Structure 1
Amino acid sequence: MTAPARGAHPFFHAPRRPAPSLARTHSAAEVAAGLRGELAGLGVELAGALPAQPFVLPRRSYDELFVVGKVLLGLVRRAVLSLGPTWPERLVALGADPADHPLFSGLDNTETDYCAMMARADIVVGEAGPQLLGFDVGDAFGGPHETHAFTRVWRRTHTEDGRPPFTGHDPLAARAAAFEDVCTRRGLPRALAVIAPPGGTARPGDGRFPGHLPERLPERDLEHFRARGFEAALFAPEELPGALGRPGKLRYPLGLRAFAPGDRSQGGARVEPVRAAQRAGLLLLPPQSGGLLDNKKALALVSEGLPWMTRGERGLVDRWLPWTRISVAGRTRWHGTEQELPGLLWGERERFVLKSAVRAAGRPPLVGRECGARVWAAAVERAFREGDSVVQEYVEPAGTLVELTDGDTTWMSRLAPVLSPMLFGGRPGGCWVRSRLEDGATSQNAVLAWTRDAGR
């Protein structure tokens, strides 16, 4: 049995459970080979250190991640819906660029029904427990295939009493179940078109090499949907709408949008075939409206508090969401005081992070404690001038020990993880984790839970 490591946060520690590495039944070389085989073609950086074990949490902590994500996603959705009666009006209210949202279907009820269908929360564990940094909603975000692949390896290479000692939700199964729900609700056949650019799905910002395209993703999407009883086929946007069948009675009435249309619309690139397919009757999911839930201004509205929020909801926001505000000059509440927001940021630089409200803006978050006063002041001035950013209170992430390997040896490293629980149609859909290594590389893994926590 093991005691918690000195300084370990209780969120990471399962009392009276052994170290996960003690359940490993394969050599470091076999683990590394298994990971390289499962992850090949998914865009995961495989050079250097690999995890030698799953990232394992107590079941109570694992379950809490999905509660945090679901509750706060629901509040963000309501906050966006409250901004106007239609999706184009909500887009204007958030100051979003229509060019980043070229595939609004024009069917407001459909957009509303499915805007939160696919989402990933990014969470760090601070002194007070899990803290939500933001959401990735709708587009082809990273995590589902990676988490599925890591989990397959861990189930083969770790056993206890002849069984895997860890459990976790399968993101690909949860996603397929969400699409099954859509078919049942709408009376559609299980016939799915996976819409992806030739060569794979680009997912910038997920720790991959610039320009890298995970080529195996669309094919793996087809495999998993077919295994669940779907007729599924892959189409490039340029093949639409003709390849789907005649309008009004499409052979594939349901589409998985495996690309970010904002990326493809640069310079007016080819989104018109996809629009034509929508006009012909294709239900394309996730819908374009999810991108507004992704906007960090919506998160700031929830943080500040909205009139319809209950006392209980405000309490959960205070517990799980770091203080977040839109970069608009004015007075704001800050830890029980009234402050002018620009002056607060200039005077307390080390306590804040400045972020673009929209991921497509391409500006990385600026951490006040990691930059000089002159750089910070210039960035704050620009943010208030443009009104396109949010400021969030910095959360010092708790670290935990994880075993790594190069395929020959193993060693323990203390990492500060970003935990990313995924939701599909409201279902828990597995959890991805990323950590920055000392050499600047990004380590990835699947988050799992002990099958049997001691004392449960």
Structure 2
Amino acid sequence: MTALRSWSGACTTPPEIGLAPGLIAEIMAEEFREIPRSGFPIALQPMIVPRNSYLELLSATAGLISLLRKAVVNLADDRPGRMAALGIDPADCPMFVPDEDFELRHCADMTRADVIIGPDGPKFIEFNVSGGFGGMAHFLLYQQAWHRIREAAGRPAFVAVDAFAQQARLIETTCAELGVPPSAVIVGTPRDWGPGTGSRVFDVQVNALRRHGVHATQLEFDDLLTGIGLPGNLRTHLGIAAFTVQDAATVGYDLSPVRAALDAGLLLVPSQSAWFLHTKKTLALLSEGQPWMTGSETELVRRYVPWSRVVGDREVWWRDTKHHLPRLLVDRKDDFVLKGATGCAGEEVFLGGTISDEVWSCLVEDAVRTGDFIVQERVETQPYPLDLLAESGEINRISATPVVSPFCLGGRAAGCYVRFTDEGHQASTIGGVTARRTCLLAEA
């Protein structure tokens, strides 16, 4: 298998950038003005990998997304059957439309994978399938900032794929399918990023789409119906669902205007059926293997997905030996991570090696009882060296523990967002205000 050193490149020291830290900080401050979860400490380098590794990561992302969608289609013959097979709570899915063909065609339209770089390269630990996964605006601004920085330093261009070019293509093809001009409304609120957050996090996205020839706007929920022409004829037929039902419940905003817009003919991408891909149970089913999978599909999952299973009172194969799953998890807890099937932002993620035997046993018992958890074999994260600039001007070199997040829009993989902490944090997932951020680029 590919060793880390060859996959990530020569990563004993941070990559050379060639520009003074103060100038890097100035460019970052300009790009990230009014953007939440940015600022000090600032990573003085992006994460840079060889071009072949970058292309491999994008290819694996697109391949696995396609396979997740195929798994959903093969779960059952209809929507109720799929919901039953995955144990989906109908309350989590209030935005279905009657057109089941549209639902399935567009369930995988917007995805952000979370990837750990292990000893043998990338391992996909989960997929966030929705329009509200976050990170695309941050990635775009990092991409722009590092382009400016390398130009100022006289360095060769980095290799990266523009996520918004791919999203614009998705909008264009979907609008052509609907027989309308290419336009879309981003349905969402900056309140998801915290109180007092301004509109720039959406302005960046709207302007990026417009640069690619798509008429885009952003509307808050209270403004949605009048903004798309209701009551009356729809002025906009396609929406980007930049929200989740769970965020709405947490932050406290009303999604009934979205339901009313759908009833009046607005369509959203990704469709509500994205939840079938978002649940980690679907990834676990692929890891366990399904009778319809081809040899190449089985190999794709084996290569890039850690051993994962839906937790239940049953027998499983692990490392070529048959085990009673609950007993295996209790006996070998340091090898495993328990994850809530639909938890987001690090919620319901438990690393066996960081929890007492008693608490872990209770968690396993609860996971078996509810049927709402998966287990993954823990991947040993390989550190990546980065320099962090503090607001005081002090520079600290850390061994970053990164989670790399490639986007996939309309079946095409695009740029990679990165969240990281220092090496002391095992990366089962990384998010929230404590994580630092940069992006992954490739060598020219």
Please report the TM-score for the alignment, with normalisation by the length of structure 1.
Answer: 0.88
Correspondence 1:336 to 2:320: yes
CA contact (8 A) 1:99 1:265 kept: no
Query: For residues 175 and 420 of structure 2, what CA distance do their matches in structure 1 show?
Result: 37
Q: Which residue does the alignment assign to 1:56?
A: 48
1:416 maps to a residue whose letter is T
Q: Is the 8 A contact 2:248 2:254 kept in 1?
A: yes
1:368 matched to 2:352? The reply is: yes
Correspondences of 1:16-415 after superposition (within 5 Å): 20-21=15-16, 23-24=17-18, 26-47=19-40, 49-159=41-151, 162=154, 164-197=156-189, 200=190, 202=192, 213=197, 215-246=199-230, 249-264=233-248, 270-359=254-343, 363-406=347-390, 408-415=393-400
- 1:138-185 per-residue CA deviation (whole Å, 9 max, x = no partner) reads 131122111111111111112499454312011122212211121223
Deviation at 1:30, TM superposition (A): 1.6
SS in 1 for 2:123: strand
Q: Report the Cα offset of residue 286 of structure 1.
A: 1.8
- Separation (CA, whole Å) in 1 of partners of 2:303 and 2:219: 44
Shift of 1:18: 10
Deviation at 1:377, TM superposition (A): 0.6
Q: Distance in 2 between matches of 1:446 and 1:328?
A: 37
Residue 441 of structure 2 corresponds to residue 436 of structure 1: no
Where structure 1 has 5 or more consecutive residues not aligned to the other structure, the ranges are 1-6, 204-209, 452-456
Rate the CA distance shift 1:159–1:223 in 2: closer, same or farther, 3 A.
closer
Deviations 1:329-370 (A, max 9, x none): 111111111111011001101100000001259733110111
| The 10-residue stretch of structure 1 (66-75 or 247-256) with the greater mean CA deviation from structure 2 | 247-256
TM-score, length of structure 2 as denominator length: 0.90
User: Identity percentage over the alignment?
Assistant: 34
d(CA) in 2 for partners of 1:104 and 1:412?
A: 48
C-alpha distance in 1 between matches for 2:397 and 2:323: 44
Name the aligned partner's letter for residue 271 of structure 1. Answer: L
Change (3 A) 1:259 1:213: farther
The more displaced of 154-163 and 29-38 is 154-163
User: Which stretch shows the higher mean deviation, 53-62 or 173-182?
Assistant: 173-182
User: Residues 18 and 132 of structure 1: is their aligned pair in 2 closer, same or farther, counting only changes over 3 Å?
Assistant: closer
1:170 and 1:30, CA in 2 relative to 1: closer, same or farther beyond 3 A? same
Matched residue type, 1:293: L
- Match for residue 13 of structure 1? 9
Determine the C-alpha separation between the residues in 2 that align with 1:77 and 1:211: 35
Q: Secondary structure at the match of 2:192?
A: coil
Cα pair distance change 1:446/1:194, threshold 3 Å: same
Q: In structure 2, list runs of 5 or more residues that go unmatched.
A: 426-433
Shift of the alpha carbon at 1:36? 2.3
Q: 1:325 to 1:383 in 2, by over 3 A?
A: same
Number of equivalences: 433
